């Protein structure tokens, strides 16, 4: 093989290998080990009624620990004004974490107003973890303890109402439902069908009688004319 052909094949092989190497190291086929750090990326926030209106995640005064730590975005994301930032929240694969404080944030009047506007406009946020998107609403957490107490109170009220209805609608009361409700319903339905059928037969009989009388009268007139 001539030297120039050898070098062309060599450089072509190296070039193809360099093109394939990023794909071989992608996150889609990455297998996490126990305790390995899993990255949580922040993406966008925006109003739920207008999905096209999106802003940077930290445009709202969240507790920002990213400090300009921005991932290299794709061209489409750059043109769309999307900035993917590292949340710097420590997540270990298959490792349980006790309740702990991630960061502290002091809210002033302007920040409270921003959060209030976001809640009123039903802002949603988007996060990414292992190339999987996650969506949620700003301040969508509810007070479970309060709801549990309310449910218990309303359940007692409902039970009292049921007992009152049972007392009023006892079998000895004339306004209670009949014991053979299905049989009565069938009888009423069958009776209505029989009445309708009887009326239809009577109507057909009357029409037939009138038609027969008309035919006989017409034939008798023709015989007299002859």
| Domain around 222 | 178-226
Instruction: Give the confidence band of 113 by pLDDT, cuts at 50, 70, 90.
Output: very high
**Could you tell me the pTM of the whole model?**
0.47
pLDDT of residue 109: 92
CB 39 within 8 A of CB 88: no
In this structure, the answer to whether residues 124 and 164 fall within a common structural domain is no
In this structure, the answer to whether residues 131 and 37 fall within a common structural domain is yes
CB 84 within 8 A of CB 27: no
In this structure, the answer to whether residues 88 and 148 fall within a common structural domain is no
Q: CA 70, CA 83: separation in Å to the nearest integer?
A: 7
CA 38, distance to chain mean position in Å, is 28
In this structure, the answer to whether residues 72 and 120 fall within a common structural domain is yes
Q: CA 169, CA 33: separation in Å to the nearest integer?
A: 66
In this structure, the answer to whether residues 106 and 75 fall within a common structural domain is yes
In this structure, the answer to whether residues 154 and 194 fall within a common structural domain is no
In this structure, the answer to whether residues 191 and 204 fall within a common structural domain is yes
Number of domains forming the structure of the chain? 4
Q: Return the bridge partners of 135, or none.
A: 126
In this structure, the answer to whether residues 123 and 166 fall within a common structural domain is no
In this structure, the answer to whether residues 192 and 98 fall within a common structural domain is no
Q: Is the pLDDT of residue 24 over 50?
A: no
Q: CA 103, CA 64: separation in Å to the nearest integer?
A: 9
Q: CA 85, CA 80: separation in Å to the nearest integer?
A: 15
pLDDT of residue 3: 47
Burial track 118-140 (b if 16+ CB lie within 10 A, e otherwise): beeeebbbbbbeeeeeeeeebee
CA 214, distance to chain mean position in Å, is 70
Q: State the chain's mean pLDDT as an integer.
A: 73
What is the arithmetic mean of pLDDT over 107-111? 90
Dig out the tokens for 186 from the structure.
């069938």
Of 108, 137, 166, the last residue of a domain is: 137
In this structure, the answer to whether residues 111 and 194 fall within a common structural domain is no
């Amino acid at each position: 093989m001539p030297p120039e052909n050898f070098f062309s094949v060599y450089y072509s092989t190296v070039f193809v290998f360099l093109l394939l190497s990023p794909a071989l190291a992608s996150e889609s086929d990455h297998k996490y080990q126990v305790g390995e750090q899993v990255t949580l990326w922040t993406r966008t926030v925006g109003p739920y009624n207008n999905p096209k209106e999106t802003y940077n995640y930290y445009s709202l005064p969240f507790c920002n620990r990213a400090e300009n730590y921005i991932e290299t975005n794709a061209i489409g994301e750059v043109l769309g004004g999307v900035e993917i930032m590292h949340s710097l929240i420590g997540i270990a694969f298959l490792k349980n974490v006790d309740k702990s404080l991630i960061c502290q944030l002091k809210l002033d009047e302007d920040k409270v107003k921003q959060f209030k506007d976001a809640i009123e406009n039903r802002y949603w946020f988007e996060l990414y973890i292992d190339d999987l998107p996650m969506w949620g609403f700003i301040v969508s957490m509810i007070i479970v303890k309060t709801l549990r107490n309310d449910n218990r109170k309303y359940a007692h009220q409902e039970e009292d109402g049921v007992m009152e209805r049972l007392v009023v609608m006892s079998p000895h009361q004339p306004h209670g439902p009949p014991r053979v409700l299905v049989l009565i319903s069938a009888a009423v339905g069958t009776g209505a069908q029989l009445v309708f059928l009887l009326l239809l037969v009577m109507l057909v009989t009357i029409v037939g009688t009138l038609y027969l009388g008309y035919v006989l009268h017409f034939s008798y007139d023709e015989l007299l004319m002859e």
